[in-house]
Structure 1
Amino acid sequence: MTPTATTIPATTGPRSVDETVALLASGDYVADRALATAVHLALAMHRPLFLEGEAGVGKTEIAKVLAKTLGRRLVRLQCYDGLDLASALYDWNYTRQLLEIRLAEAAGQHDKEALAKGIFDRRFLIERPLLQAITPEGGPAVLLIDELDRADEPFEAFLLELLADFQVTIPELGTIKAETPPVVILTSNRTREIHDALRRRCLYHWVDFPDAERERAILRLKAPGAPEKLSHQVVAFVQKLRQMDLFKMPGVAETIDWCGALSHLDAVELDPARVDETLGVLLKYQDDIARIRGAEAAALVSEAKAAP
């Protein structure tokens, strides 16, 4: 039976690691105790939580679940190569500012200093995710800075003031400080190293692939329609696959997708032919698919069926 999400007031939080485990479980997130401890401490100490790990192990989902169960709005900044301050923090609405200037000139206003001051007003400010997360509109937030390793290194410097004091400085307006600090989750797939200055401002946790028992529990929540035998064999197959030297090991997200795909095809257990036909759901690189397809897949199916 799927737990009902428990929402607690945004100003409070779980009072223990056990409560944090239960809180995450109520949002359909199966966490091990080490991860739950990191989340609990981040909430209790009001510190950003930096999560590293392979893609698809559930780092992003932590922020989504916390927003849902803590009753906070989710503000997501998806990082990418070339991300800059205007896209992440704020920008000015230049079109509206220009219109304001023309209207003022048409009305006979010629005080350039007053006009310049007037157009750099909050009315013309476009709030991007980092600024949205510390403004009170909409209530307290969970700020997800997702895949930070995809952004350029200089972008990390933009985050230091925010993560240290939950405030940002806009030259034309001054300093804006959060009334209620957001819960901050940063994620990285470790395609590059994140600078020590940013790491020091965060609590850290490496999110590893789950063991077989926990992955089966995840499938019971995320693929509830799958036959129990199929779910058991899928997990055993994927666990064996992760022990191989692949270009990209399948994450939990791929396990869920694969189990769901096999269920859609009315599979009740693994068989080599069906595995070969659906490997593109589980593996995302042709070299990995070519290596596994055929005899290797058949051997893994036999091992999965024999797994306790």
Structure 2
Amino acid sequence: MSEGKTRALPASIDETVAMLGGEDYLAGRSLATVIFLALKMKRPLFLEGEAGVGKTEIAKTLAKALDRPLIRLQCYEGLDISSAVYEWNYPAQMLDIRLSEAAGVKDRKAIETNLFSERHLIRRPVLQALGEKGGPAPVFLIDELDRTDEAFEAFLLEVLSDFQVTIPELGTIKAEEPPIVIITTNRTREIHDALKRRCLYHWVDYPDAAQELEIIRRKVPQCAETLSRQVVAYVQKLRRLDLFKNPGVAETIDWATALTELDRIALDPETIADTLGTLLKYQDDIARVKAGEGERVLSEVKAELHATG
């Protein structure tokens, strides 16, 4: 990335579609529209959907397409301010205290001012996203927010409202330019309305067959056309079986890649059984497919593809 420079934001929805497509992310018009509006309005974008539908990839694609740094806050249960925002470098502070004592410094206020200064501040993702200076504002990905608790959500309200955080010892730090904020959630719990109101919202669904086939063509270009069509049709049908965990787009890509590495040009029951671990991640789902559902689905896929030519 060229320091101090950045690519221009798309000027229309069509340009947004083209920009994402240039990085091999196929976005439908509704998704492209909300991304365009989030960029224009400088509002956070809240993306909700099942795991594996490409929510996180949107932030990565935007960072790449706009030539901006990507700062990622991976959320988890128990995430706190010291891990997400900042903490003080205690070993360095203790060393400064000892050096001050050795030098005979007795001004307590001067010592405290030195201890709680920028040079002892360890910036975590939130502060990094707000504190970028001299360059383009980053893309700030808050990934899987539903894994955190409501207390952390409440903290984020200040960040998303005013793009600032308050550090008691230093004061308020405000972003010179608001970062491009992408928030994702797999909806394992509901996020509070107060946070959602600060964002533009979009539900990211699984791609349809035509979109997923084009994704395979782009991501696994060495995959035979017949195999690509069978893989996509097979995965699309699996998602209708009410499995414990439906395969996402990443799993479809992995499966197509694995089958290509095995020099397969078409699906067969034995190959499916041997490679299900690249597509499904729960034993109950794998056992169900191996027990007969898989062969039935394959028969339907081949019959449908044969009928459509």
Range of TM-score over shorter length: over 0.9
Residue 223 of structure 1: which of 212, 216, 220 is its match?
220
Residue 119 of structure 2: which of 123, 128, 137 is its match?
123
Residue 124 (structure 2) pairs with residue 132 (structure 1)? no
The 8 Å contact of residues 234 and 304 in structure 1, kept in 2 or not, is answered as: no
How many Å apart are 1:118 and its aligned residue? 1.3
In structure 2, the residue matched to 1:33 is 29
The 2-side partners of 1:184 and 1:11 are apart by 17
In structure 1, the residue matched to 2:92 is 96
SS at match of 2:47: strand
In structure 2, the residue matched to 1:244 is 241
The 8 Å contact of residues 72 and 143 in structure 2, kept in 1 or not, is answered as: yes
Compute the TM-score of the two structures, normalised by the length of structure 1. 0.95
How many Å apart are 1:295 and its aligned residue? 2.4
How many Å apart are 1:281 and its aligned residue? 1.0
How many Å apart are 1:11 and its aligned residue? 6.8
In structure 1, the residue matched to 2:251 is 254
How many residue pairs match? The answer is 300
How many Å apart are 1:294 and its aligned residue? 4.0
Gaps of 5+ in 2: none
In structure 2, the residue matched to 1:56 is 52
How many Å apart are 1:57 and its aligned residue? 0.5
Residue 69 (structure 2) pairs with residue 73 (structure 1)? yes
Letter of the structure 2 residue corresponding to residue 176 of structure 1: I
> What is the root-mean-square deviation of aligned Cα atoms in Å?
1.1
In structure 2, the residue matched to 1:82 is 78
Please show how residues 128-207 of structure 1 align to structure 2 within 5 Å.
128-137=124-133, 139-207=136-204
How many Å apart are 1:17 and its aligned residue? 0.5
How many Å apart are 1:157 and its aligned residue? 1.2
Which runs of 4 or more aligned residues in structure 1 lie more than 2 Å from their structure 2 counterparts after TM superposition? 9-12, 136-139
The 8 Å contact of residues 272 and 294 in structure 1, kept in 2 or not, is answered as: no
How many Å apart are 1:180 and its aligned residue? 1.3
The 2-side partners of 1:292 and 1:283 are apart by 10
Gaps of 5+ in 1: 1-8
The 1-side partners of 2:200 and 2:7 are apart by 20
In structure 2, the residue matched to 1:110 is 106
The 8 Å contact of residues 7 and 67 in structure 2, kept in 1 or not, is answered as: no
In structure 1, the residue matched to 2:208 is 211
Deviations 1:102-147 (A, max 9, x none): 1011000011121111110000000000000111245420000000
SS at match of 2:130: coil
Residue 61 (structure 2) pairs with residue 47 (structure 1)? no
How many Å apart are 1:224 and its aligned residue? 1.2
Q: 1:180 to 1:302 in 2, by over 3 A?
A: same
How many Å apart are 1:12 and its aligned residue? 3.2
Deviations 1:8-31 (A, max 9, x none): x63731011100000000111011
The 2-side partners of 1:237 and 1:11 are apart by 39
SS at match of 1:205: strand
The 2-side partners of 1:163 and 1:230 are apart by 45
- Percent identical pairs in the alignment equals 64
The 2-side partners of 1:271 and 1:199 are apart by 46
Please show how residues 248-287 of structure 1 align to structure 2 within 5 Å.
248-287=245-284
The 1-side partners of 2:145 and 2:91 are apart by 31
Letter of the structure 2 residue corresponding to residue 56 of structure 1: G
Letter of the structure 2 residue corresponding to residue 26 of structure 1: G
In structure 2, the residue matched to 1:288 is 285
How many Å apart are 1:303 and its aligned residue? 1.5
How many Å apart are 1:209 and its aligned residue? 0.4
The 1-side partners of 2:150 and 2:196 are apart by 13
The 1-side partners of 2:69 and 2:302 are apart by 44
